[in-house]
Chains A and B, each alone.
Chain A
Amino acid sequence: MDQLRLKIAMLIARSAGFLSKSLGRGAGETLPGRVLLALCPNAIELLSASRVVILVSGTNGKTSTTKELASQVRTVGTVVTSGSGSNLTRGVAGALMKDSVFAVLEVDELHLPAVVAATNPALVLLLNLTRDQLHRMHEVKRVAARWHEMCKAADPSTAFIADVDDPFVNYSITGAASAIRVSFGGAAHGRHPDGAVCPSCGRYLDWNSGKYHCDCGLSNEYADHVFDGGSAGYRNFVLASIAADLAGVHNALSNIELRNDFRGMERATEKVFAGVKARLRLTKNPASWTEALQGVTGNNVILVLNAREVDGIDTSWIWDVSYAFLAGKKVVVTGERGADLAYRLHVEGVESTLVDTFDQAIAVFGVGSVEVLAAYTAFFGLVNR
């Protein structure tokens, strides 16, 4: 009965997706999944049953890590994977509509517990948890607490691959039946930006060169795998490669610290706008801004700040990023909340030109090349232009 219901629901969902695409309505990614779940609420469970499911979640790097892992796993079997950024349950349902041996899926942090329960995954990659969209997540600790419950409740056959240099991730996996603890010799920049308090017991966490050890036992001094440190992109690449190795990919981990094929994961897209060559980077919270600013090498910079739902509707966090590094460069600021950012730069001694639209920002440069750091909605708006 379930299978028949599923078959009919998939048929209707596919037609809806096809119709939506041919009418030019877009949403080809999420509409079929949405229709499928409406008609068959347990579709994710039914569609996961016969394949190896690997989930990827965390505040930053979900999309690039999922893409990397999917391409590695594809060498040993057929793979379905998430459409770019469609990481809510409807995106997961949509991705599962095609047959495959593996499903490699990106999942939103708050949706992860439900997706773990529904898919009974073989592997779950927990990348990191930092402040993001606080109007929706409220507190980092709140997300970690949900992950903690999720790990405790998960089937023993599910293994969690976790970067334990992040105390929130480390706390999440305490209580998991099966966890692979990965450390990079300590958190980047010496400490986790939101990690002053032990997420497990509430004591003050003293950091020492990226290491922490709480009296309650939470610590990143013990790990199953220890790698050299590196950028966020490199860390996620290593986690993806551990998962690929477990999925049977040959040589996934060989010489991993010497390779630089993770560079493709640092999401920068090149595109030309009105004759100006732009390198676009996604920046959506303090951690990803800090990471992206370190990658700025040129003198021409455009910063775009929006504050729609997925960007986070509160912009207060921009004060937790240091932009001092941009002083002396030619900086143009735009976006729906460009004024917030221009004033924040101003107070830090970085003068910028504030303009209304991205095209005006490009026109300020006219020729040459520019590095663009853009908020979530602005980034995808520009990539899809």
Chain B
Amino acid sequence: MKIVRIHNELLGTYGDRGNADVLAYRAGLAGISTTVVDVSYRDLIPHDGDIYLLGGAEDAAQILSCAALSSGALHGAVEKGAVVLAICAGFQILGKTFYANGVEQRGLGLLNISTVPGDKRYVGDIKIHPDLLGVELTGFENHGGKTILGAGTQPFGNVVVGHGNGDSGVDGAISGNIFGTYLHGPVLARNPEFADLLLSRAHGAPVQVNDVLADHYAQLRRRVVK
């Protein structure tokens, strides 16, 4: 299984690089061999990845990353059914438009969403309930965007604590195998069930891993964030 970590030097402001590490680690526990490919801004994006990861970033970095991705490599991978997990600025990039440096930017259009500046910065612990998983997910949000879902686009989860897409009561968006969310943490470190869902999608068969420490950590965060 090939895990592609996109532009971590740009999209790595909030520790989201850990999502790739967690996927590789849990895949290993499940007996699935993986390679994590770090793609930097100057590199070409491989077309044959199974999971693509994008993280949170500062404005200027978000603009650079989006420009580099507009060549279409990610579009090709998505058409082939690749799994995409995009966090915060990375999530916004996947939409139709977003704001960076105070200016509206054209996104990749992989998700039917658009993001506008919020009334304030949303900073703090967040807890959401995605129907897809049946458990609550915890994380940390730190952004100033309000994401509006276009017609037919499903949110990733309902917000229990925090803000997510702004004040609409939901967080993130999903479409096929594309998952977008505002949860840092990294989200897959704090929520192993979500990691296993992504691995299952990429593997084409259910992947479930037993890791006592991972479960202990996830439960602890779920108890504390309220």
Contacts of A182 in B (CB 8 A): none
Pick from A202, A314, A340: contact of B60, CB below 8 A: A202
Contact B14 A197 (CB under 8 A): no
Q: How many residues in B have their beta carbons less than 8 Å from beta carbons of A? A: 35
Give Cα distance in the complex from A340 to B189, angstroms: 9
Binds A, one of B18-26, B43-51, B111-119, B160-168: B18-26
Of all chain B residues, the one with the shortest Cβ separation from A314 is B140
| A316 x B59 contact (CB < 8 A) | no
A347, B140: Cβ atoms closer than 8 Å: no
Q: Does A194 contact B (CB under 8 A)?
A: yes
Q: Which residues of B lie under 8 Å from residue A343 when comparing CB positions?
A: 189, 213-214, 217
Asked if A134 is an interface residue, CB under 8 A from chain B, the answer is yes
**B15 contacts A197, C-beta separation under 8 Å:** no
Is A318 in contact with B63, judged by CB distance below 8 angstroms? no
Whole-angstrom CA separation of A194 from B9 in the bound complex: 7
Interfacial chain A residues near B12, Cβ < 8 Å? 320
Closest chain B residue, CB of each to CB of A206: B42
Q: For chain B residues 75-115, which have a beta carbon within 8 Å of chain A?
A: 101
Residues of B within 8 A of A317 (CB): 14-15
Per-residue B-contact encoding for A337-349, CB less than 8 Å = 1, 0 else:
0011011101110
Contact residues of A between 120 and 137, Cβ < 8 Å to B = 131, 134-135
Q: A202-B63, A319-B17, A348-B21 are in contact. Are A342 and B10 (CB under 8 A)?
A: no
- A316: which of B10, B25, B123, B184 is its contact (CB, 8 Å)? B184
Contact of B121 among A138, A198, A206, A348 (CB under 8 A): A138
User: Which chain B residue has the least Cβ–Cβ distance from A348?
Assistant: B21
Q: Report the bound CA distance from A89 to B17 in whole Å.
A: 36
B124 within 8 A of partner (CB): yes
A139 at the interface (CB under 8 A from B): yes
A204 at the interface (CB under 8 A from B): yes
Interface residues of A in 186-205 (CB under 8 A from B): 194, 196-199, 202-204
**Is there contact, CB below 8 Å, between A316 and B21?**
no
- Please judge, given known A-B contacts A140-B58, A317-B14, A319-B18, whether A202 and B189 are in contact too, CB under 8 Å: no
Q: Tell whether A197 pairs with B64 under 8 Å between CB atoms, given A141-B58, A343-B189, A343-B214.
A: yes
What CA separation (Å) do A320 and B101 show in the bound complex? 25
C-alpha gap A320/B25 in the complex (Å): 16
For the complex formed, measure the closest distance between the CB of B138 and the CB atoms of chain A, giving whole angstroms: 11
A319 touches B124 (CB 8 A): no
What per-residue 1/0 map shows which CB atoms of A304-322 lie under 8 Å from chain B? 0000000001111111100
Selected from B14, B63, B217, the residue in CB contact (under 8 A) with A134 is B14
* Smallest Cβ-Cβ distance to B19: which chain A residue: A319
- Interface CB pairs A-B, < 8 A, 28: A134-B142, A135-B123, A139-B13, A140-B58, A141-B59, A194-B13, A196-B41, A197-B58, A197-B60, A197-B64, A198-B60, A202-B101, A203-B64, A204-B42, A206-B42, A318-B15, A319-B186, A339-B220, A340-B217, A342-B213, A342-B217, A343-B213, A344-B18, A346-B214, A347-B21, A347-B189, A348-B21, A354-B213
Sorted nearest first, the 6 A-B pairs with minimum C-beta distance are: A319-B18, A316-B15, A202-B60, A196-B9, A319-B15, A314-B140
